[in-house]
């Protein structure tokens, strides 16, 4: 039996990310021209994990088709990649339904809808060293405690109390009960990547627990199983809504998630996958990234923190800044686009102004139209 394998949870609907997920599952949403599921798979392969199983649910067939097409044998080498479409009721339930696929002593459970440079190999080594049943990936944040929860750790990072989004009374009681050798942390978040020993599968079958964070971890502590927290300062972002999704694109362009970088070859902070067909007097600032078959007309300005996808045409004198443009998009002349997201298959007329706008797939915007801090829904025409 091998030492490590991995499960990637890739079944979420991405409701908070609508309308970006109107036609695709959340793991296929691209960050700097790379679907988030690709980041998750590459993360595990880089940690030398040879058996990865993806738990699919919402639009599972679409996601399965993409993975089979993209992650070919030539690309995977000796890595075995499987996928199962399931109707799970939570993160722990997804694991339970895949338990028969586990062929290792230890298992990493990861997510397909986050962007992180968590040092995965160090995380796995930490779990092996501590020899506990489970290890939670954690990082420190600057935020109010009510948003994330609290954790009680000792100096060896063993967890004695784990509360997600605790009520004020729970926090008060836990702080009163702590021993002198324990440390109460109110600025550490669970980043949703876990290491388990294989025994966790038996526990899940015996208990019927559905969710790791709210049910399984409190159960393990109550029953005196050893649970550890791997606490480091690394990059992690849940692309759960349009704002954090935008931030993820900016962060990768700024190398905040190094060594994760935008797709394409870098030219001094500008990432290009294919050839850009350009007119005259083009201005391209860094950092920015471009997909394939991008056409820029005369005097186009692509300003900092902009990600442009595949088969995008941009008309003369248009200025785009801090925005994310998906694939198959046509943008007219004289447009000003700032801090906006334009999804696939959209057509933007001439002299259009978009400011903090979200444009769903298949939308069409007429000439001289202005949209500020609003969202166009799927297929809308204005």
Domain boundaries, the chain: 1-117+240-261, 118-234, 264-376
Please, what is the angle between helix 60-70 and helix 36-46, to 10°?
50
Confidence of residue 174 (pLDDT cuts 50, 70, 90): low
CA angle 169, 175, 179 (to 5 degrees): 145
Q: What pLDDT is attached to residue 41?
A: 96
Write down the residue that tokens 């079958």 correspond to. 205
CA distance 260 to 183: 33
Q: What pLDDT is attached to residue 12?
A: 82
CA distance 51 to 36: 19
- Looking at the DSSP bridge assignments, the partners of residue 319 are 301, 336
CA distance 350 to 344: 18
Q: What pLDDT is attached to residue 182?
A: 57
Q: Kindly report which listed range (14-28, 160-174, 187-201, 220-234) carries the lowest average pLDDT score.
A: 160-174
What is the separation of C-alpha 214 from the centre of its chain, rounded to a whole number of angstroms? 21
Q: Tokens standing for 81?
A: 């990649």
Rounded mean pLDDT, 362-375:
98
The CATH number that domain 118-234 falls under is 3.90.550.10
Closest CA to 127 of 108, 146, 150: 108
Rounded mean pLDDT, 359-382:
98
Decide if 1-117+240-261 and 118-234 have a common fold: yes
Fold entry, domain 1-117+240-261: Spore Coat Polysaccharide Biosynthesis Protein SpsA; Chain A (3.90.550)
pLDDT at 184 over 90: no
CA torsion angle 358 70 47 274 (round to 10): -70
CA distance 375 to 378: 10
pLDDT tens readout for residues 35-51: 999 999 999 999 999 99
Top CATH class, 264-376:
mainly beta
Q: What pLDDT is attached to residue 168?
A: 53
CA distance 30 to 22: 14
Q: What pLDDT is attached to residue 176?
A: 42
How many Cα atoms occupy the beta-carbon half-sphere of 18 within 13 Å? 7
Longest dimension (CA), the chain: 70
Q: Kindly report which listed range (145-149, 154-158, 261-265, 369-373) carries the lowest average pLDDT score.
A: 145-149
Between β-strands 324-325 and 306-308, what pairing exists: parallel, antiparallel or unpaired?
Answer: parallel
What are the angstrom distances between the C-alpha of 274 and each of 31, 72, 221, 300, 308? 17, 21, 52, 18, 12
With H, G, I as helix, E, B as strand and everything else as coil, classify residue 62.
helix
pLDDT tens readout for residues 330-367: 999 999 999 999 999 999 999 999 999 999 999 999 99
- Looking at the DSSP bridge assignments, the partners of residue 163 are 150
Contact status, residue 139 vs residue 188, Cβ threshold 8 Å: yes
Cβ atoms within 10 Å of 316's Cβ, excluding its own? 17
CA torsion angle 95 100 105 108 (round to 10): -30
Contact status, residue 343 vs residue 324, Cβ threshold 8 Å: no
- DSSP 8-state secondary structure symbol assigned to residue 112: S
Q: Tokens standing for 298?
A: 């005369």
Q: What pLDDT is attached to residue 154?
A: 86
Write down the residue that tokens 């690309």 correspond to. 75
The pTM for the full model equals 0.91
Q: What pLDDT is attached to residue 183?
A: 63
Q: Kindly report which listed range (151-160, 175-184, 264-273) carries the lowest average pLDDT score.
A: 175-184
pLDDT mean across residues, the chain: 91
Q: What pLDDT is attached to residue 172?
A: 46
């Amino acid at each position: 039996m091998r030492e490590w394998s991995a499960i990637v949870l890739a079944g979420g609907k991405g409701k908070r990310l609508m309308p970006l997920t109107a036609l695709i599952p959340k793991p296929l949403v691209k960050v700097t021209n790379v679907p988030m599921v690709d980041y998750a798979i590459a993360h595990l392969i880089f940690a030398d994990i040879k058996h990865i199983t993806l738990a699919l649910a919402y639009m599972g067939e679409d996601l399965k088709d993409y993975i089979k097409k993209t992650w070919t044998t030539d690309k995977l080498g000796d890595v075995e990649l499987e996928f199962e479409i399931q109707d799970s009721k939570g993160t722990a339930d997804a694991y339970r339904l895949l338990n028969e696929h586990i062929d290792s002593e230890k298992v990493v459970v990861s997510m397909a809808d986050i962007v992180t440079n968590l040092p995965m190999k160090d995380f796995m080594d930490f779990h092996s060293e501590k020899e506990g049943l489970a290890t939670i990936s954690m990082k420190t944040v600057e935020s109010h405690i009510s948003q994330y929860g609290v954790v009680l750790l000792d100096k060896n990072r063993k967890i004695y109390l784990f509360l997600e989004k605790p009520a004020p009374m729970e926090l008060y009681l836990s702080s009163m009960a702590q021993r002198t050798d324990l440390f109460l942390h109110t600025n550490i978040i669970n980043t949703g990547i876990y290491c388990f020993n294989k025994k966790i599968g038996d526990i899940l079958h015996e208990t019927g627990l559905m969710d790791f964070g709210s049910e399984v971890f409190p159960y393990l502590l109550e029953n005196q199983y050893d649970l550890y927290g791997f606490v480091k300062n690394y990059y992690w972002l849940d692309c759960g809504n349009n704002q954090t999704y935008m931030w993820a694109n900016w962060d990768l362009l700024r190398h905040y998630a190094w060594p994760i970088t935008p797709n394409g070859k870098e030219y001094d902070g500008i990432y290009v996958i294919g050839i850009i067909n350009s007119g005259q007097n083009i201005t391209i600032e860094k950092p920015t990234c471009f997909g394939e078959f991008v056409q820029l007309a005369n005097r186009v300005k692509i300003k900092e923190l902009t990600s442009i996808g595949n088969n995008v045409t941009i008309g003369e004198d248009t200025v785009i800044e801090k925005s994310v443009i998906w694939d198959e998009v046509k943008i007219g002349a004289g447009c000003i686009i700032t801090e906006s997201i334009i999804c696939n298959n959209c057509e933007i007329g001439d002299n259009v102004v978009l400011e903090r706008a979200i444009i769903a797939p298949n939308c069409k915007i007429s000439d001289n139209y202005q949209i500020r801090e609003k969202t166009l829904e799927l297929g809308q025409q204005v």
